[in-house]
Amino acid sequence: MRLSSKHANQQVVALSDFTGGLNTSTTEEQIAANQLVQSINFEVQSTTGLLKTVDGTRKIYRAPTDAEYKFKAAAYDRLNGHLVLFGDNKAIFSTKNMQDVKQIGTLSGDLPPVTALWEDGLLVASGGHLQYLDGFQMKTISTSPDMCKGCYVRSGRVLVFDDENVRYSGVGDEENWTEDSDDPSASVWVEAGYKAGGKIIGMVNLSSDILIIKDNGMLFRLSGEYPDWSISEIAREVDCRGPNGYCNVVNTTCILGEKTIRAIVTTQEYGSMRANSLGENVRDEIRMLPLDAKMRYVPPLNQIWIIGNGGIVLFLDLNCNAFFKRQFNANVVDVVSVNEDVYIIKENGIDILDSSSFSDEDDYLEYTLQGKTQISHYDFLVKRVAFACTGYAVSGSDTALYIGDVKIPLPSKLAYNMADYVYENWGLVYGNKEYVNKGGNVNHRIVYVNSDVFVYDNWEYVYGNGDYVLDFDGYVVRDERIRYRNKALTLKLQGKGSKFILNGIKYDVVEV
């Protein structure tokens, strides 16, 4: 009798949907079937909804080894096509081709830089006078207020804020900050919350209004244009970590707090804005982020990145509204999108996400994925596992699926070191999906594929060939009989040196 026929209550479990993302708010037995206890360097493929390994990086630029500074932030001047880098020594750098990086000036203040596009260049506010960058040129606007903590552009005016007030420049002139009650186009100002206390730490657009964020947890909405403007309180107890702790996505503003994320959305209800809570499933991860963590929207990936220390990035995948983690091999300080390219800013240089790479800093990215743990009053007996993926691995990859202490290696697409499976083989090759015989009575099970043409119509060498058997679009399956018995059943996928889409995991299990 076959092993698979011995138990009448046998079940076939198929897993492919992990779009619930991370959930560390409860025990691993209590999470949903599509949620994860651990997820490092996986993301959801937008076209299929399947999990895939994240793209690796490719080095673009490295600062001189004797540089006395580290990069701490970046911005993109879309009007001039320049990437602007900010050093921890207050130096401002600019590059047009991502290779020739030149220092063009120094920040006027000590606060994290906030930027806004204006006219032919980029405005920068860092706590001192406002500054203006135009390609490799920079000027400090001495007529601007002494304290510009942030900047914003609206209706032909430049807006800056200090601790309590929002100040408007004259219409169309970033250097005109002179007030004139008889001239409606002159500079004006408005107080954010009269006698409300707290200091302004952020200002961002939300639909047709401006959302003002204060460090006492209060939010204010500035509507209309001078003189027909109004300012009103819309929320309390919405804490924000700092000037980099918020970002805008269409008609939603996300604010990073101490333990959660608040989404301020526009509605048709009374008040027209509502604060929703996000990140309840990853409160511990949010709590462990540094106080100066940056929140950035990355349009090409449709993800919101929260950049922590040590190369860790907690991100909200807007394709499925779930959280996942990235782990780079070096500290990341910022991320900038240029059209469909994503540039990773590190302390010593610039990288770009590369879909053909699965490494970072010349070392393979490591992957970890762990799903829900199932518990039984009896014992689980797992007898057979099918592990399907689309992708490839390099020789020596140790990526594998683990069921308890049973290891099922990642299906490989390389013919490297597999010459013996072809040479002296007495069985069929074309169309064969069973064991491959290596002469005598020794059988070896290898992966099978869905593209026979790669062998049948192949004019290249097979014996001794170390090249890819399939391209990245091929589908491979590893189907193995195993015997694992335990009261707890946990599936974990981990390793490095590989890049793949997880099509699914299927296993035969019975309670005994």
- For 280, phi then psi, to 5°, come to -65, -25
Contact 346, 330 (CB under 8 A): yes
Q: What pLDDT does residue 436 have? A: 42
- Could you tell me the CA-to-CA distances from 311 to 69, 88, 293, 308, 333 in Å, in that order? 19, 18, 12, 7, 8
Which stretches does DSSP call E strand in 63-149? Answer: 71-77, 82-87, 91-95, 102-106, 114-118, 121-125, 131-134, 137-140
Q: What pLDDT does residue 440 have? A: 46
Q: What pLDDT does residue 175 have? A: 97
Task: Give the start-to-end residue ranges of the domains of the chain.
Answer: 7-54+369-511, 71-191
Q: What pLDDT does residue 454 have? A: 42
Q: What pLDDT does residue 56 have? A: 95
In three-state secondary structure terms, 245 is coil
- Give the pLDDT means over successive 10-residue stretches in the chain (512 positions): 56 88 93 95 92 95 96 97 98 96 98 96 98 97 98 95 96 96 94 88 88 94 91 91 92 92 77 80 95 96 96 96 97 97 98 94 94 79 80 69 79 46 45 43 42 42 43 52 70 88 84 71
Q: What pLDDT does residue 509 have? A: 78
Q: What is the CATH number of domain 71-191?
A: 2.40.128.630
